[in-house]
Structure 1
């Protein structure tokens, strides 16, 4: 509900924010008096405590029967904890794939530079303009913003930066690399996929397929996995590729590719492991499906509805178009 300590103190009446903070201190907590635990239980027994942008503790007479039952359950637990009992151990948190174990190790997100023909008439992408904004020179900025914030939050002790593929330094190559976008524009993606010796190939647009695709081998036969467009040329389904493996530039670091035939595919590959609604299940699927593998790859469909790409659910078989390594038979 986004409740702050100051709002809680005001709702309780006559309580300072510092006192609330002392009750919530995980290192040396101060036990709240019973009447304050009763207020906590009443407040969190119902969402009606938060109405019209303000917070208040309802009277017992205002609570419904269900809310009173919820209050009793909460209060019993709080009183039990106040006596020094330990709560039941929680289920272990699923550590997502964007949490890197090494502290102080460089993590670099690499985007393609937006081609000149797409920024020629864009004043914000012109370095000579007073309105110049460097991010307008990046391809896939929506995927970059989504992923940069997530990786920073998951790795507070690691330097996280982003650059275009033509701005990389030698040190960037030997840290953790995260590549956004495909071989049409991101030259580093092309280099990494070739060095990783993946059993698939990204076919650029207008090479030997109008909208490109991912060529894979299935039962010894090549198959081209393509995006789908309607008769008017509107994208109705993109293709997303997620690859994680040992870096070819430093075996103690990783390289990750989030790629699509179009921007919504790249964003879909990112959001598969950042979207809170799908993160846990997709992460659990990857860890179970590719347990023990140093490198793996998933190609999935990204439906596009009303111009918006939807987050792929990897636990649904119909969404997974190709996986590597294959399941041992």
Structure 2
């Protein structure tokens, strides 16, 4: 096991023995609190051959060791999250992020044979990757400068929708795949070879024609409804449940966005990835979930823990917007996840 696994094992033992100066938590106490065996606790703390705990156990670790109030006589009893003080919640979040980061590094340094890459944007086969955006509608382009090819200052990218998401993701994919070819296309520019590459679709079914086509081909667990002018407004649906973006005084406060990964329906040996919000802010948020250096390893670990070797999976989550700024979603937080598929 690499040093990264030893670092996680060392930190778990340190929490148990040194988190509270006058109290050492014994392994049997911790095992009862986590509802696991004592040998399993030992394996997580063993620096020679450490085992890596699942995300759910590290969440309980953080909840226990964020407050001394977890000690109840001779027992450890995790508090409910609603019982934590502001300072205890802050420490819980800090501990959880630290442990998840250590876990992600441990897993990425010691991959199992045939396991998924460290990040979903890493493609190890060297094949072409094509990022597909919508082209802005003509009624919008007529109000913009430099979007006519005959203009000496013509800027092709000005015609792309979700340009901030494209800019964020293109550089990240290039960095993770230095030897691969990364193309960008609007849906109307696609060639047959593009469709059979690794496909990444940005944006929803209203402007991105390829996203609309793919939704028809795949048996996706959610449906996107673009009732922009109707009483219900735009929303994602899952069965009888509806998930709508939240606006206040005309400003977007919270979007809803889909992340999907599965086989490319046009070439089963390549992948299809969809990053799709009701608004562009949601699309950017779900892209950043796996590019933001503060969250990508944590969210990647959660995806691997939750979906394992599933060939196709999807996650519908909230994307918060604060003072016009997109907040990268932390998928380890239950309150941000709306739908997970397979269930």
1:9 corresponding residue in structure 2: none
Query: Over residues 21-72 of structure 1, what are the superposed CA-to-partner deviations in whole Å (9 max), with x where a residue is unaligned?
Result: xxxxxxxxxxxxxxxxxxxxxxxxxxxxxxxxxxxxxxxxxxxxxxxxxxxx
1:37 corresponding residue in structure 2: none
The aligned runs of 1:143-162 (5 Å cut-off) are: 143-162=165-184
Q: Write the distance in 2 (CA, Å) between the matches of 1:309 and 1:92.
A: 29
* Residue 261 (str. 1) matches residue 283 (str. 2): no
The equivalent of 2:192 in structure 1 is 170
Paired with 1:272 and 1:186, the residues of 2 have a C-alpha distance of 21
Which sits farther off after the overlay, 93-102 or 238-247?
Answer: 93-102
Q: Displacement of 1:280 after TM fit?
A: 0.7
* Secondary structure of the structure 2 residue equivalent to 1:191: helix
Q: 2:308 aligns with which of 282, 286, 291?
A: 291
1:82-101 correspondence runs (5 A): 91-93=106-108, 95-101=118-124
Alignment check: 8 A CA contact 1:203 1:209 kept: no
Counterpart residue number, 2:260 = 243
Which residue of 211, 219, 234 maps to 1:189?
Answer: 211
Structure with the greater alpha carbon radius of gyration? 1
Displacement, 1:126? 2.1
CA distance in structure 2 between the aligned counterparts of 1:205 and 1:270, rounded to whole angstroms: 24
Q: Is the 8 A contact 1:113 1:165 kept in 2?
A: yes
Match of 2:241 in 1: 223
**SS of the residue aligned with 2:340?**
strand
Helix, strand or coil: the match of 1:125? coil
Q: Does 1:203 align with 2:225?
A: yes
* TM-score, structure 1 normalization: 0.68
State which of 133, 138, 153 in structure 2 corresponds to 1:131.
153
Q: Which has the higher helix share?
A: 2
**Which runs of 5 or more residues in structure 1 are unaligned?**
1-89
Structure 2, unmatched stretches of 5+, are 1-104, 110-117
**2 CA distance for matches of 1:208 and 1:233?**
16
Using the alignment, how far apart are the partners of 2:231 and 2:156 within structure 1?
Answer: 33
Q: Is the 8 A contact 1:184 1:205 kept in 2?
A: no
CA contact (8 A) 1:247 1:254 kept: yes
Matched, 1:102 2:102: no
RMSD: 1.4
Aligned length: 231
The alignment partner of 2:161 has SS state of coil
After TM superposition, give the deviation of residue 210 of structure 1 in Å.
Answer: 4.7
1:250-297 per-residue CA deviation (whole Å, 9 max, x = no partner) reads 110000000000000000110000001000110000011001210010
- Aligned residue for 1:148, secondary structure, equals helix
Q: Partners of 1:123 and 1:286 in 2: how far apart?
A: 41
User: How far apart, in 1, do the equivalents of 2:190 and 2:196 lie?
Assistant: 11
Range moving further from structure 2, 200-209 or 130-139? 200-209
SS in 2 for 1:171: helix
Runs of 4+ in 1 over 6 A off after TM superposition: none
Match for residue 212 of structure 1 among 222, 234, 246? 234
Shift of 1:121: 1.9
* Aligned-partner Cα distance in 1 for 2:332–2:183: 31
Q: TM-score, normalised by structure 2?
A: 0.65
Deviation of 1:208 (Å): 5.2
Superimposed CA distance per residue, residues 65-107 of structure 1 (whole angstroms, 9 cap, x where no aligned partner): xxxxxxxxxxxxxxxxxxxxxxxxx83427101001102x110
Partner-residue secondary structure (3-state), 1:99? coil
